[in-house]
């Protein structure tokens, strides 16, 4: 099987369940940004220990973003073929992130001023992933306003919650990084 099909050489792309649209149409533009988010989260995951709590969480959300992509890659007339949690974002997917955010928030002291990413590598990478998710969210708001997504779609709430979760994970990782660095400094001082 060849990677290239040449069918997109005319500037169109195939949709899930059929149909073709311009590559810069609202749906493909939005799921392209979602694909960027999957990759950005992957870069953060690549910097975490394999099978760690954070590694597994990031993998889960990368997989869930494929559900977001499937919904965005489906023409409005084919939305009836989508399945909640598999090819369409469900309300349960959105609400499932809330206790995770709450639990992780309890692991660090909240910032008292605006956050400047860069305290630690993983935290900074999670912040990059967060801003890509926010861009995907903005694209999906536009797609909803123009009728590509249905008004009751859970895509925008999902992306909104995921960006909140990534912010929370970044702050948690910065706290862990800072504690490790402080511990190293104290160990050096006691020598």
Look over the chain and give the mean of its residue pLDDT values, rounded to a whole number.
Answer: 92
* Residue 190 counted as domain residue: no
For residue 91, pLDDT over 70 is answered with yes
Tell me which H or E stretch contains 179. Answer: helix 155-189
Residue 190 CB neighbour total at 10 angstroms: 6
* Residue 89 counted as domain residue: yes
* Residue 120 counted as domain residue: yes
Task: Encode pLDDT of 72-90 as tens digits.
Answer: 999 999 999 999 999 999 9
* Residue 158 counted as domain residue: yes
For residue 171, pLDDT over 60 is answered with yes
pTM: 0.90
Residue 161: helix, strand or coil by DSSP?
helix
How many structural domains does the chain have? 1
CATH no. for residue 13? 1.20.1200.10
Burial 130-158 (b: 16+ CB within 10 A, else e): bebbbbbbebbbebbeeebbeeebbbbbb
Task: Encode pLDDT of 141-156 as tens digits.
Answer: 999 999 999 999 999 9
What pLDDT is recorded for position 178? 66
* Residue 161 counted as domain residue: yes
Question: How far, in Å, CA of 87 to CA of 71, rounded?
Answer: 6
Range of the domain at 129: 7-108+115-185
Task: Encode pLDDT of 27-75 as tens digits.
Answer: 999 999 999 999 999 999 999 999 999 999 999 999 999 999 999 999 9
């Amino acid at each position: 099987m060849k990677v290239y099909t040449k069918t997109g050489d005319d500037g169109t792309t195939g949709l899930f369940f059929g149909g073709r649209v311009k590559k810069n149409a609202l749906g493909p533009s939005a799921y392209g940004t979602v694909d960027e988010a999957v990759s950005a989260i992957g870069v953060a995951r690549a910097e975490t220990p394999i099978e760690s709590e954070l590694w597994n969480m990031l993998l889960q959300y990368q997989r869930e973003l494929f559900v977001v992509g499937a919904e965005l890659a489906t023409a409005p007339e084919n939305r009836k073929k989508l399945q909640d949690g598999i090819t369409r974002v469900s309300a349960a997917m959105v609400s499932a992130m809330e206790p995770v955010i709450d639990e992780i928030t309890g692991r660090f002291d909240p910032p008292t001023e605006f956050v400047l990413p860069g305290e630690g590598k993983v935290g900074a990478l999670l912040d990059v992933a967060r801003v890509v998710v926010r861009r995907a969210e903005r694209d999906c708001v536009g797609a909803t306003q123009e009728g590509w997504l249905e008004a009751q779609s859970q895509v925008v709430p999902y992306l909104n919650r995921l960006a909140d979760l990534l912010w929370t994970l970044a702050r948690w990782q910065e706290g862990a990084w800072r504690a490790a660095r402080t511990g190293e400094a104290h160990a050096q001082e006691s020598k």
